[in-house]
Structure 1
Amino acid sequence: MDYMQIFDSVVAGLLGPDGMIYIAGIAGILLILLALPMVMVKKVEPLDRIAQERKASTMELLGEETLNRHGQRNEHLAKYAKYLDPEDEEEMSKTRLMLTRAGYGHKDAVRTLTASQFLLGLGLLTLGAIYTFVLTSGHSPFNIFLYTVLPGALGYLAPKYWLQKRVEKRKQEIQDGFPDALDLLLVCVEAGQSLDQSIIRMATEIEPSYPALSSEFILVAQEMKAGKDKGDVLRSMAERCDLSDITSFVTVLIQSASFGTSIADALRVYADEMRDKRVMRAEEKANVLPTKLTVGTMMFCVPPLLIILIGPSIHGIAKTLGGGGGVGF
Structure 2
Amino acid sequence: MVAVLVIAYALLILVLSIAIFGKKGKEEDNNLKRMKSIGKEVVTAEYKNIESSFYDRNIKPLVKKLSNLDAQGNKQTKSARKRQETEKLALQLRKAGIHMSTGSFTYLKTAVAVVGTIVFTGIGVLLMDVTNYFWFVIIIGSVFSVLAPTLILKQKIKGHQNAIRAQLPDTLDLLSVCMEAGLSFDASLLKVSERMEGPLIDELVTVFKQIQLGKSRNDALKALSDSTDVDELKTFVSAVIQANTLGIPITNVLAAQSEQLRVAKREEIREKAAKVPTKMTIPTVLLILPAIICIIMGPVIIQVMDQFGGGGMF
TM-score computed with the length of structure 1 as normaliser: 0.65
Map residues 175-324 of structure 1 onto 2, 5 A cutoff. Answer: 175-207=165-197, 211-321=198-308
Tell me how far 1:308 sits from its aligned partner: 1.5
Change (3 A) 1:128 1:265: closer
Mapped partners of 1:81, 1:180: distance in 2: 49
What letter is aligned with 1:90? Q
Between Structure 1 and Structure 2, whose CA radius of gyration is higher?
Answer: 2
| CA drift at 1:212 | 1.3
Classify the secondary structure of the residue corresponding to 1:295.
helix
8 Å contact from structure 1 (residues 203, 217) kept in 2:
yes
CA distance in 1, matches of 2:224, 2:21: 28
Q: Residue by residue, what CA displacement relative to the aligned partner does 1:136-184 show, whole Å, maximum 9, x if unpaired?
A: 27x99xx787554442222111110111011111111111221121111
SS in 2 for 1:105: coil
Does structure 1 conserve the Cα–Cα contact (< 8 Å) formed by 2:176 and 2:255?
yes
Aligned residue identity for 1:123: V
Q: Which runs of 5+ in 1 are unaligned?
A: 1-75
Number of the residue aligned with 2:154 = 164
CA contact 2:127–2:134 (8 Å) conserved in 1? no
**Does structure 1 conserve the Cα–Cα contact (< 8 Å) formed by 2:124 and 2:135?**
no
Alignment counterpart, residue 83 of structure 2, candidates 62, 83, 89 = 89
Instruction: Look up the equivalent residue of 2:288 and give its one-letter code.
Output: C
Structure 2: state its 5+ residue gaps.
1-18, 27-77
Partner of 2:29: none
Q: Secondary structure at the match of 1:136?
A: helix
User: How many residue pairs are counted as aligned between the two chains?
Assistant: 243
Write the deviation string for residues 242-287 of structure 1: whole angstroms up to 9, x where unpaired. Answer: 0121112111111211222211122222222222111111111111
In the alignment, which residue of structure 1 is the partner of 2:103? 111
Cα deviation, residue 192, structure 1: 1.0
Contact 1:238–1:246 (CA<8 Å) still a contact in 2? yes
Residues 1:145 and 1:307: Cα distance change in structure 2 (over 3 Å): closer
CA contact (8 A) 1:132 1:147 kept: yes
2:163 maps to which of 166, 173, 181: 173
Cα deviation, residue 128, structure 1: 4.2
Mapped partners of 1:214, 1:230: distance in 2:
16
Aligned-partner residue type, residue 213 of structure 1: L
Give the Cα separation in 1 of the matches to 2:122 and 2:89. Answer: 33
How far apart in 2 are the matches of 1:275 and 1:264?
A: 17
Three-state SS of the structure 1 residue aligned to 2:199 is helix
Q: Give distance in 1, aligned partners of 2:109 and 2:239.
A: 41
CA RMSD across the alignment: 3.2
CA–CA separation in structure 2 for the residues paired with 1:278 and 1:220: 25
Instruction: Check the 8 A contact 2:96/2:157 in 1, yes or no.
Output: yes
Structure holding more helix per residue = 2
Spell out, residue by residue over 1:307-327, the C-alpha distance to the aligned partner (whole angstroms, 9 max, x if none): 222112223333454566369
| Structure of greater relative contact order (alpha carbons < 8 Å, 6+ residues apart) | 2
Q: Output the CA distance in 2 between the equivalents of 1:78 and 1:225.
A: 40
Match of 1:53? Answer: none
Deviation string 1:73-109 (CA, Å, 9 cap, x unpaired) is xxx97984999xx972211111111111111124x4x
Question: In the alignment, is the contact (CA less than 8 A) between 1:121 and 1:151 conserved in 2?
Answer: no
Distance 1:204 1:326, change over 3 A: farther
Q: Which amino acid aligns with 1:313?
A: V
Letter of the structure 1 residue corresponding to residue 204 of structure 2: F
The whole-number CA distance in structure 1 between the counterparts of 2:269 and 2:263 is: 10
Residues in 2 aligned to 1:128 and 1:266: alpha-carbon distance in whole angstroms? 56
Distance, in Å, in 1 between the alignment partners of 2:103 and 2:172 is: 36
Determine whether 1:152 maps to 2:142.
yes
